[in-house]
């Protein structure tokens, strides 16, 4: 994690891996963490891939999601999983994003 103090704001550049709902999420984000329990995510990117084993990513079934500070973007799959798996993957993306903002998930 790289921290940068900007006036009265503390920004964090973070990379990490989260495994949830059968998907590997490689997460990169920049956030204002001046208040760690109420972080403001400024930029967010999640490369999500289906797990073939416990924690091995299947890159043939992967997508990239982003968040530009106001809305989620991207989500283009190179091989479309069934709708339930696609929903589980997107739910994981959203859960990770909101957990970061609540301060429940801190990647280092």
Kindly report, residue by residue over 7-32, the tens digit of the pLDDT: 677 888 899 999 998 899 999 999 88
Report the number of distinct structural domains present in the chain.
1
H/E element, 15: strand 9-20
pLDDT digits (tens, 9 = 90+) for 53-63: 767 888 888 99
Domain range for 12 is: 2-102
Percentage of the chain beyond pLDDT 70 is: 92
In a domain, 108, yes or no: no
Q: Whole-prediction pTM value?
A: 0.84
The answer to whether position 57 is within a domain reads yes
In a domain, 107, yes or no: no
What Rg value do the Cα atoms of the chain yield, rounded?
14
Is 42 a domain residue?
A: yes
* Whole-number Å distance between alpha carbons of 77 and 60: 9
Q: Please check whether residue 86 is in contact with residue 74, taking contact to mean a CB–CB distance below 8 angstroms.
A: no
The pLDDT of residue 96 is 94
């Amino acid at each position: 994690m790289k921290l940068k103090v900007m006036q009265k704001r503390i920004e964090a550049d973070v990379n990490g891996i989260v495994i949830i709902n059968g998907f590997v999420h490689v997460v990169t984000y920049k956030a204002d963490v001046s208040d760690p329990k109420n972080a403001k995510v400024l930029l967010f990117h999640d490369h999500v891939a289906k797990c073939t084993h416990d924690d091995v990513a299947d890159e043939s079934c992967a997508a990239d999601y982003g968040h530009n500070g106001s809305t989620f973007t991207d989500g283009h799959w190179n091989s479309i999983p069934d709708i339930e798996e696609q929903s589980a993957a997107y739910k994981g993306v959203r859960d990770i994003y909101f957990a970061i903002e609540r301060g429940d998930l801190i990647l280092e």
